[in-house]
Amino acid sequence: MTLQKPLGVVLEESKDGIYVAEVQRGGNAERNGEINVGDMLISTSAWITTNEQTYGETRVPGGEERVKMAVRGQSFDSVMAAIGTHKAHQEVTLEFQRCVIAGGA
């Protein structure tokens, strides 16, 4: 799924991974309707700079490329940084695993 920033979710880290702690009322995630509290984040998109060139002593960055980053094994800070690489007009692609909360209906 893709969401505009601000995403409208609060992500937190647990021993099992990164999960949705809160879906903010009126936010982009709530309007999307596919994200629930407890869902685990599996992957996110990120933008990286590509084709850097060196001319004499000057480094010139190339273009940007959108990549998919698997979340498992990554630090919380790295995942948040990946999400943060998106400019305001760029949608963030997120993949979640639906998790059923024990005792739920």
For the residues 69-77, what does the mean pLDDT come to?
A: 95
- DSSP 3-state of 103: coil
In the chain, where the domains are located: 2-97
**Average confidence score pLDDT of the chain:** 90
pLDDT for 50-61, tens place per residue?
Answer: 887 888 888 887
For the residues 31-54, what does the mean pLDDT come to?
A: 92
| pLDDT over threshold 70, residue 16 | yes
User: In sequence order, which residues have a C-beta less than 8 Å from that of residue 60 and are 6 or more positions away?
Assistant: 52, 53, 54
* CATH number, domain 2-97, options 3.40.50.1260, 3.10.310.30, 3.30.1490.20, 2.30.42.10: 2.30.42.10
Round to whole Å and give the CA distance between 30 and 65.
28
